Structure 1
Amino acid sequence: MRRSMIFCLVATLAATGCGVGAEPAAAPSAGGKVTLTFLVFETPNLDAKFWDAAIARASAKVPGVTIKKLVTPNVDRTGYAKQLDASGNLPDILQSVNPAGFAQAGKLAAFTGEELKNFIAPTAGAVDGKIYQLPYNTQVIPVIYYNKDAFAKAGITATPKTYKELLDVSAKLKAKGVTPFVVGGGGADTWADMYPLTGTIATDVYSKTPDWLTRRAAGSVAFKDADFTKAAQKVADLAEQGYIDPAGLSRSYADSEQAFRDAKGAMYPMGSWFATSADNTKPPFEIGAFPWPSDDGAPVTPTFTGGGTSVSAKAADVDLAKKWALAFDEDKENNDAFVKADGSIPAIKGYVPPSDMGPVYNATVAIYQQGMKDGSIVNAFSQETGDGSLPPGLADKAALAVQDLITGKKSAAEFSAYLDDQWTKATQ
């Protein structure tokens, strides 16, 4: 799941058609001695039926718990959780809600090392050395998904390994009348425009300085510095050269995805959750996948690991809530369901995805596995959690400003200066 946003992880997914927040799910467990509220979100991939089944599986493993499901009524599930908290109604368990702010204020219960023993990255998203959200899922952000037919018709015989080769590929596609990149971000889905920038920040900034945002918090670096501004300039240049169509920014996330399926562009930089959708919809062309390339071709793999459940420090029964949260995130059938519905890459030790996953998902997982093998994993800009993350709300402001960068309303230097200004306002 993308969750930023992802998204998104988290808020990173577009959540459309969500239900009303106070509706309970029929997911009682044996005994039903304690009732715990569980805040989830619904998307076309993760609908009410999906959540009800997953809740029932976890509840069967934790006798004495009855789960009352709450559904975020809008895209911003972290914002909705803050509204509930402000009214004294923070749910007992929260799914894919950014713990920033909640953890520092003592609102969430920390998980112990013993409780995290089955997770591949047990320290991911740590706040002051403690984990407040189970790091159960990894996403590669972005992957460049591409139309193999469009590449072949443009005489492109190999995927680009360097950034110059990416520009060469883009030029060949444009020469054939094909828009190189599909980039959206309309309406409530402004987050969807971030991924070219997330790619260039990974290759130009985070690959050299993995703790860059921690240093930004300490004041030793700034967005206006040359490396960050250079990364932003690359995105502006893609638009100026006609490789990104600014008109596409009016498309919602769903419409952008459909535009790629309709061959309105040859490359689609998106989070790895697109992989399952690509396999399930089967457009009239074959889809491939490759990582965002660096200048020198050295591998860089931007990822997010986290997005799991958190537990309120004032839950009706904190120990049972944590036990249930672990059962939910570690359940093999639940993880299989997340993989099949939402392209998850579960970060659970020993987990093996279903053998019948499609070629796009398998290609996406191969990118992640190669990143693990060659040690090229870095954070995905705007998706960070824990101590080294953007201040609350800044990811959303950055997404809006990326639109100005692509349309030419802001230069790269102005974009960087804007982020510095917004950082100051968010941290005063």
Structure 2
Amino acid sequence: MNRIAPTAACIIALGLTVSACSPAGSTSADSGGKDGKATITFLTFETPNLDAEYWDAAISRAEKKVPGVTVKKLVSPSTDRTSYAKQLLASGQFPDAMIAVSPSGFAESGQLAAFSDAELKDYTFPHSNPIGGKVYQLPHNTQPTPLVYYSKAKFKKAGIDAPPRTYSELLADSAKLQKAGINPFVVGGGGKDAFAASYLWTALVGTDVYKKTPDWMTQRRANKVKFSDPQFRSATGKFVDLVKKGYVDKAGLSRDYASTEKAFLSGKGAMYPMGTWFATAADKSAMKDDLGVFPFPTDDGSIAVPSYTGGGISVNARSKHLDLAKKFALAFNADKANLDAVVKSDGAIIAEKGYTPPSGMGPVYDATVKVYDDAVKADGIVNAFLVETGDDSLLPGMVDKSYAFAQDIIAGRKNAEQVGKAMDDEWAKADTK
């Protein structure tokens, strides 16, 4: 991972004040591509589900639909593509297009181009995650994050007949699993994939904060509530309590994302809080018929499923080929073969009008979609803490700090009061208004 020391000092919070420090336009766009075509750069990332073969094929299909453009693929060295985008911006190599990069901070500093209503007309939730009332990322994919995937065989071994519906049932089931010698929760968060340590926290904020106060983060931006207030501190306290009871596998702090997925699929624990992209990996595994899924339980048994709709392509506002970059973004996210591929590879729930997923998806994906559909019918969709972007998200720079706090909780280094205070302190540093 290349770091440019002279420009690093220009980065504040999310590294998004660099517009005054270094050029933000595409470097590749200065010269023509092959056959006289314009070259644009496209930042992607690779996971076990979305590998190089997937990206190469998807890019090729979209490229053919935009005459006059050649696409140069850039690959983030980790799944934290937002941090990598910051580095590229700081070194004057901000890509022309980028996928699944949080637009927060980039948009406010003028680095991203907004999409018009006409460009968003085919999306189910066209105004998802607005920043200053404008949309900077194509909202093509809804991802409940997290749901809880579990081993039916391990539940049965512990004497559990059905997944828990209330939080008290979850605690009782976790105690039964522990007594049976089974680790209740498999988590990750090691090395470059710190985000995976945070999903129990995301779930608990969803059930205990956002379910009861949907505009809580908007209120935080207005300084009407704080992370150290009782409601948020209580949700964080439940996370701390799960760790103290020994229900969370601390070994996860040494595992990256791929290793965590492998740990769960190899039987290292009973439950796995993870986003819906896990469903396709599960359906490719030997465990597919043993796996079930349920929403993280609330105290009263009502449904609260943290979800995020976005994940599409954003475009560099200063690209030398802005029009072509936008056309490529729209073509990439509208291509049926691309959408089918991401559903098959990454368990996507596509949020585009008229889209029908491919037939023959596996049992875990089908069960995942049912949980989401049931939540929609029950008006149980809430924002996903640490995943949301836009006007009701954390301030720039705070997501990475929060991942570190989640790691601190799992490691036993911080309690709820300490985390609440630290979050408020970080908020004060990030609030530059």
Q: With the length of structure 2 as denominator, give the TM-score of the two structures.
A: 0.89
Question: How far did residue 22 of structure 1 move?
Answer: 9.7
Q: Which residue of structure 2 aligns with residue 311 of structure 1?
A: 315
Which range moves more in the overlay, 308-317 or 263-272?
A: 308-317
Distance in 1, Cα, partners of 2:267 & 2:415? 30
- Compared with structure 1, are the counterparts of its residues 33 and 181 closer, same or farther at alpha carbon in structure 2 (3 Å cutoff)? same
- Extract unaligned runs of 5+ from structure 2: 1-25
Map residues 239-254 of structure 1 onto 2, 5 A cutoff: 239-254=243-258
2:78–2:193 contact (8 Å) kept in structure 1: no
Q: CA deviation at 1:382?
A: 0.3
State whether structure 2 residue 179 is matched by structure 1 residue 175: yes
Instruction: State which of 146, 152, 158 in structure 2 corresponds to 1:154.
Output: 158
The question of 1:411 aligning with 2:419 is answered no
| Alpha-carbon separation, structure 2, partners of 1:407 and 1:71 | 31
In structure 2, the partner of 1:374 is 378
Go from structure 1 to structure 2 and tell me whether the alpha carbon gap of 1:248 and 1:103 turns closer, same or farther (over 3 Å shift): closer
Alignment of 1:422 with 2:423, yes or no, is: no
Contact 1:193 1:402 in 2 (8 A): yes
Contact 1:81 1:90 in 2 (8 A): yes
Counterpart for residue 195 of structure 2: 191
Matched, 1:103 2:80: no
Q: Distance in 1 between matches of 2:96 and 2:341?
A: 23
Partner AA of 2:101 in structure 1: V
Query: Is residue 143 of structure 1 aligned with residue 161 of structure 2?
Result: no
Residue 304 of structure 1, CA deviation: 1.1
Q: Secondary structure at the match of 1:361?
A: helix
Shift of 1:44: 2.7
Unaligned residue ranges in structure 1 (runs of 5+): 1-20
Counterpart in the other structure of 1:274: 278
Q: Secondary structure at the match of 1:293?
A: coil
8 Å CA contact 2:183, 2:268 repeated in 1: yes
Superposed CA RMSD in Å reads 2.0
Q: Deviations over 1:355-393 (max 9, x none)?
A: 111011111111111122222111111001111111222
| Aligned: 1:401 with 2:415 | no
* 1:73 Cα offset (Å): 3.0
* Corresponding position of 1:340: 344
Alignment partner, residue 265 of structure 1: 269
Which residue of structure 2 lines up, in the alignment, with residue 217 of structure 1?
A: 221
229, 234, 248: which is aligned to 2:238?
234
Structure 2 counterpart SS, 1:136 = strand
Query: What is the identity, as a one-letter code, of the residue corresponding to 2:261?
Result: E
Runs of 4+ displaced beyond 4 Å: 21-24
Matches within 5 A, 1:50-89: 50-89=54-93
Who is 2:356 aligned against?
A: 352
| Percentage identity across paired residues of the two chains | 56
Q: 1:85 to 1:23 in 2, by over 3 A?
A: closer
Q: Which amino acid aligns with 2:129?
A: G
* 1: CA distance, partners of 2:266 / 2:78: 28
- Please give the secondary structure, in 2, of the residue aligned with 1:281: coil
User: Once the two structures are superposed, what CA deviation does each residue of 1:96-142 show, in whole Å capped at 9, x if it has no partner?
Assistant: 11111221122211111111111111111111111011011111111
Q: Distance in 2 between matches of 1:242 and 1:256?
A: 18
How far is the alpha carbon of 1:146 from its aligned partner? 0.3
In structure 1, C-alpha distance between the alignment counterparts of 2:36 and 2:168, rounded to whole Å:
60
- Structure 1 49/146 Cα, relative in aligned 2: closer, same or farther at 3 Å? same
Cα deviation, residue 86, structure 1: 2.6
CA offsets 1:131-173 (integer angstroms, 9 cap, x no match): 0110111111111000000111112111111111111111111
Q: Distance in 2 between matches of 1:318 and 1:248?
A: 42
How far did residue 248 of structure 1 move?
3.2
Residue 324 of structure 1: CA displacement? 1.6
1:331-378, CA deviations, whole angstroms, 9 ceiling, x for partnerless residues?
110011111111111111121111111011111111111122222111
Shift of 1:318: 2.2
Letter in 1 for 2:256: S
Distance 1:342 1:22 in 2: 31
